[in-house]
Amino acid sequence: MKNISVGLFGDIENVGRELGKKGTSTDITLYNYKIGDDAVLYVEPTRYPERIQPLIYTINMTDYALVFVDEIKPELGETLLALDMFGVKEGTFVVGKYVDFEQLKAIVAPTSMRDFDIMEKDFIKIREKMTNLEIKKENNGEFTKIPIDHFFTVRSVGTVVLGKVEKGEVKVHDNLKLYPTDREVMVRSIQVHDKDVKEAGLGSRVGLALKGITTEELERGMVLSNGDLEVSDEIPLNIRWNPFMQKEVKVGEEYQIICGLQAVSCKVVERENENIILKLKKPIVYEKGEKIVLLDGSAKIRILGVGEL
């Protein structure tokens, strides 16, 4: 069984419905496509470019990027910048009839996207290509990790969360810690593609019915895990600054970070060139080496930089 998550970027109006069946929709929209035992989840940053956060969530949720280019225009710049600063190397440009291939290649030549495939907009061929993708996923099995992207209450079932098994596996009756809190919850039942299962492995898109928590106590970005993850409200970062940034980041000023699917306001308390220390409004959960993006939502160029913890 193959489970792949694909991000949709660029000129994507009406693209998702051509690729899969519409599922959960908020500021991001999920589309599901299944053939045999193989499944592809397409993630669309629905509220982008109005808000920058859905773009970052989509990058963090997916294994592969599909960038649709009907026309090379300035609006594409922020998307390409974000993909490059996150070091996204696996992807395809899907181009319209009047796009200059050589111009596009020249634009992305100095970026992480230099080796992206290029194909025409043929949805049958795109679906076929995505189901045949081979994405290498390392599963060391040391612990389970499931970031929560949506949650709701179901009558007669209770609290249900949606997420992707990023590490390990999950089984019915597993007891997992809900990071960044100290709460422990139990997995009452598991669904994969609307079917009840006893367990789900790496890459699976799961719906988990949980015992021991209500939806009022949940937030997007919380992580279910039986591992020993880091939690802190003060983080040091070695950051790669956006070379097109128009305003210098200063000590004492407030910004926002996104770590995984967590969005938190913060203040810069120390800065020395690429090294900064951020004080967060509330704790986040993370693993060492995880990427964090620093944002200024009111700026013309909203992505300030990306750093590693």
Give which of 159, 139, 252, 244 is closest to 207, Cα–Cα: 159
Kindly state the helix (H) or strand (E) to which residue 211 belongs, with its residue range: strand 205-211
Angstrom CA distances, 103 to 83, 108, 231, stand at 18, 9, 45
- Domain boundary residue among 182, 209, 225? 225
For helices 53-61 and 76-85, angle between their N-to-C axes, nearest 10 degrees: 40
Q: Model-level pTM?
A: 0.95
What lies within 8 Å, CB to CB, of 197 at 6+ separation is 190, 191
Instruction: Identify the burial level of 163 via C-beta atoms within 10 angstroms of its C-beta, where 0-12 means exposed, 13-18 middle and 19 or more buried.
Output: buried
What pLDDT, on the 0 to 100 scale, is given for residue 135? 76
* Angle subtended at Cα 139 by Cα 192 and Cα 152, rounded to the nearest 5 degrees: 30
Domain identity same for 184 and 221: yes
Residues 129-174: tens digit of each pLDDT = 999 998 776 655 689 999 999 999 998 889 999 999 999 999 999 9
Query: How many other β-carbons are positioned within 10 Å of the β-carbon of residue 121?
Result: 17
139 is a domain residue: no
Kindly state the helix (H) or strand (E) to which residue 102 belongs, with its residue range: helix 101-108
Pairing of strands 175-179, 223-225: antiparallel
CA distance 83 to 88: 5
Long-range contacts of residues 261-268, Cβ cutoff 8 Å, at least 24 apart: 261/57, 261/60, 261/61, 261/147, 261/148, 261/149, 261/220, 261/221, 262/219, 262/220, 262/221, 262/222, 263/53, 263/220, 263/221, 266/294
For the chain, the domain total comes to 3
CATH code of the domain containing 33: 3.40.50.300
CATH code of the domain containing 290: 2.40.30.10
Q: Domain of 239?
A: 230-308
Please give the single-letter amino acid code of residue 7. Answer: G
Report the b/e string of 233-244 with b at 16+ CB within 10 A: eebebebebbee
What lies within 8 Å, CB to CB, of 243 at 6+ separation is none
What pLDDT, on the 0 to 100 scale, is given for residue 36? 84
CA distance 131 to 129: 6
Instruction: Give the residue ranges of the chain where pLDDT is below 50.
Output: none
8 is a domain residue: yes
137 is a domain residue: no
Domain identity same for 257 and 282: yes
Residues 224-262: tens digit of each pLDDT = 999 999 999 999 999 999 998 888 899 999 999 999 999
217 is a domain residue: yes
Give which of 200, 204, 202, 222 is closest to 151, Cα–Cα: 222
DSSP 161: E
User: What's the token pair of residue 77?
Assistant: 């710049």
277 is a domain residue: yes
Domain identity same for 128 and 163: no
Largest CA distance in the chain: 57
What pLDDT, on the 0 to 100 scale, is given for residue 141? 64
Domain identity same for 28 and 94: yes
Instruction: Identify the burial level of 146 via C-beta atoms within 10 angstroms of its C-beta, where 0-12 means exposed, 13-18 middle and 19 or more buried.
Output: buried
- Domain boundary residue among 225, 242, 260? 225
Please, which residues bridge with residue 203 across strands? none
